[in-house]
Chains A and B, each alone.
Chain A
Amino acid sequence: MKDAGIKGRIASDTMFKGIIIVLSFCAILPMFLILFFIAKNGIAVIDWDFLTRLPSPVGETGGGVANAIIGTALLIVIASVLSVPLGIFAGIYISEYKKTRLSHYSRLSVEILQGIPSIVIGIIAYVWVVVPLGSFSAFSGGIALAMMMLPVIVMATDETLRLIPPSLKEAALALGASYPSTVLKIVLPAGLSGIVTGIILAIARIAGETAPLLFTAFGNPYMTYNILKPVNSMPLMVFTYATSPYPEWHSLAWGASFVLLVFVLALNIFAKLGIRKWKVQF
């Protein structure tokens, strides 16, 4: 380097910048490839029938994914009902009691929970719910997904509430509001946008999860609304049909993955825009 002349140094500088730019764009290339590939194969399959009918048996063309759409919705509702209240309350605790030992440990637990591989969560839900109840069920799938949602919601709540200035809380307390109403009516609404964003991102995360559902929700080719019965879900269906040897099922899988991709990416983009639009500035 020392002996390189000024021209050589400028050349290597330009080259470095070029390499950085090229490699960066190369890295996003797969995203466009995936979107393009799924859209190309998926759009052709999708029509009204696809969204409202049950999957067809092997050998028949056509058929739809209505049961998987209902199943995914069912799983998301169960998971949200279980994890949102607990997550928000735990998040409030961690942000309110910053110094206690419990706060430290539950923060640590949340971080570890977030890193647990999804397949391990599936096994836990199997051991905790499927074995005692004696059958695969939407309920057990919902529990598995709730365990995946929980850390995201706790973190979002904690991080948002930390940003809320203490003066706001002090003002409410000084006006004579009780501690619960200060937290629930002043602090929580002020941080609502961040928390809602966290919930949306958590839903986007679990909507595409397959691994925890393999041995909990299990999959089911028929329509069911019973939460104690196995249900199908979009990602599970993509997995089953994509790995099957039948071309008719592959086209169902293309369609299902297109619907799933649009749903998940829309949630992500919505959450991102939401952050910008609703964020309370202090």
Chain B
Amino acid sequence: MESKRSVPRSFSKALPDGETVSCQSCRRLAVRYSRFALSEPAFRKTLTLSAVAVVVLLAGIFCSLLYASFPALQAMGFRFFIGTTWDPVTGEFGALPFVMGTLLTSFLALVISTFFSLPIAIFLGEYYRYGVVSSLVKTGIELLAGIPSVIYGFWGLFFLVPIVRALQLQVGAPPYGVGILTASCILAIMIIPYSASLGREMIALVPSDLKEAALSLGATRFEMVRKVILPYARSGIFAGILLSLGRALGETMAVTMVIGNANFIPKSLFAPANTMASIIANEFTEATGTIYLASLIEIALLLFVVTMIINLVGKFIVSRLRVEV
């Protein structure tokens, strides 16, 4: 109580129940109440509950998707995955065109992006590990990952589409501009950062005595990269590519804006198509009828399961490598 008197009157404030609160007693009150609020069992229980909540959330997502897509599972059965017609009017829902669209765009994007992400990984992991150039490139890549997907789509719509259209006129294809090729290019740019950053990490993990041994035997740096680094970091680089495939499969907005929205199996690289994600984005709000809606949700379920498997395999490879080194 001694300290309370030393506080100037202007700093104290009377509470309704007559207790005077000063700075010091405020602090004391706070300490007292924090002790009350956080008994150890309660605190541990809160922590456990939060962790359980995360697991429940994931399980809930899976169960809800399964439950909500049940009408479609029942009505279409396995034909859903092999049917080639998607016609809401006649109630015919075959998802094959979208599965094909997704696979085509993703793998094409993967091939294009690997041409750039592997050099970046070698650039940052071996040639320029430190210094200004390195941090410049690294920042560039990080910012590339930070750009929202809708902006990629917007840019693609006004920058890439005219280029592709000109190309199509050159080769004599119908000049849509939008289509598989445009979508793959956008996707390729978007997923470069993911495979590049993991590839860099894995290349940087290659033990330096191995590299030095190769160099001391007279290998040039190129031979060292080819014969020592790449074989050593192979599975890590593969995991990076796998994880970026996971991103590419689920990417929605940029693809939706440039793929052209045609519900057919694409006949050429220039043809407009639809991916699993873009069909949901396009038709979900206008889906009328239980089976229509359930079919779209079933596509989402498929997307969920496929990306989950790819991510888990990729993460498994990475975690095993990190432990080994």
Contact = CB atoms under 8 A, between A and B. Distances in A.
Interface of A: 1, 9-10, 12-13, 15-17, 19-21, 23-28, 30-31, 33-34, 37-38, 86, 89-90, 92-94, 96-97, 102-103, 105-106, 109-120, 122-124, 126-128, 147, 150, 154, 178-181, 183-184, 204, 207-211, 214-215, 218, 235, 238-239, 242-243, 253, 257, 260-261, 264-265, 268-269, 272
A31 B281 contact: no
B184 interface: no
Contact of B311 (A111, A147, A154): A111
A94 B284 contact: no
B48 to A, nearest CB: 6
B22 to A, nearest CB: 23
Contacts of B120: 23-24, 27
Contact of A242 (B51, B53, B123, B154): B154
9 contacts: A9-B222, A26-B116, A38-B151, A116-B304, A119-B280, A179-B44, A214-B281, A239-B153, A239-B257
B192 to A, nearest CB: 5
A93 B50 contact: yes
Interface in B4-49: 34-35, 38-40, 43-44, 46-49
B78 interface: no
Given A20-B127, A112-B311, A265-B143, A90 B277 contact: no
A10 B221 CA distance: 9
B213 interface: no
A105 B151 contact: no
A13 B277 contact: no
Given A13-B223, A90-B51, A117 B251 contact: yes
A16 B300 CA distance: 43
B50 A90 contact: yes
Given A115-B311, A118-B252, A210-B148, 15 more contacts: A13-B222, A16-B225, A20-B127, A21-B123, A23-B116, A23-B119, A24-B124, A27-B192, A31-B143, A89-B46, A93-B50, A111-B315, A117-B250, A208-B147, A235-B148
B119 A37 contact: no
B143 A96 contact: no
Contacts of B153: 239, 242
A126 to B, nearest CB: 8
Q: Sort A-B residue pairs by CB-CB distance and give the 3 closest, nearest first.
A: A208-B148, A117-B250, A89-B50
B155 A37 contact: yes
A28 B250 contact: no
B222 A27 contact: no
B196 interface: yes
A208 B47 CA distance: 30
A30 B43 contact: no
A264 to B, nearest CB: 6
Interface string B140-166: 111110111111111101110000000
B293 to A, nearest CB: 10
Interface in B35-83: 35, 38-40, 43-44, 46-55, 57-58, 60-61, 64-65, 68
B147 A31 contact: yes
